[in-house]
Amino acid sequence: MQATALPKDGSCPNGYSSSGNYCVPGPNATHAVPKDGSCPNGYSSSGNYCVANSQSTPHAVPKNGSCPNGYSSSGNYCVANQ
């Protein structure tokens, strides 16, 4: 799972640096998503973001209605099935 740039909301999460209005992943950054309540399983809180604990942590996206095929609900997130 490749880390991607995120819209900046406060301080950037661990492994990311600020670039304009975005947080840009560094070479060892893991996937991060904006924090909405508790972080999903396999993710830790870092400011206003949830950051994957490792490169092998399943991809998570903010939940918007039902989760897409191949994803399961985890709080306010949809997490990819392994």
- For 1-16, write each residue's pLDDT tens digit: 679 999 999 999 999 9
CA distances from 74 to 14, 17, 21, 27, 61 (A): 22, 27, 28, 28, 10
How would DSSP label each residue in 35-49? --SSPPTTEEEETTE
Using CB atoms within 10 A of its CB, is residue 79 exposed (0-12), middle (13-18) or buried (19+)?
Answer: buried
The pLDDT value recorded for residue 18 is: 97
42 closest CA partner among 54, 33, 30: 54
pLDDT in tens, 22-65: 999 999 999 999 999 999 999 999 999 999 999 999 999 999 99
The pLDDT value recorded for residue 2 is: 76
Q: Which pTM was predicted?
A: 0.90
The pLDDT value recorded for residue 30 is: 96
The pLDDT value recorded for residue 82 is: 80
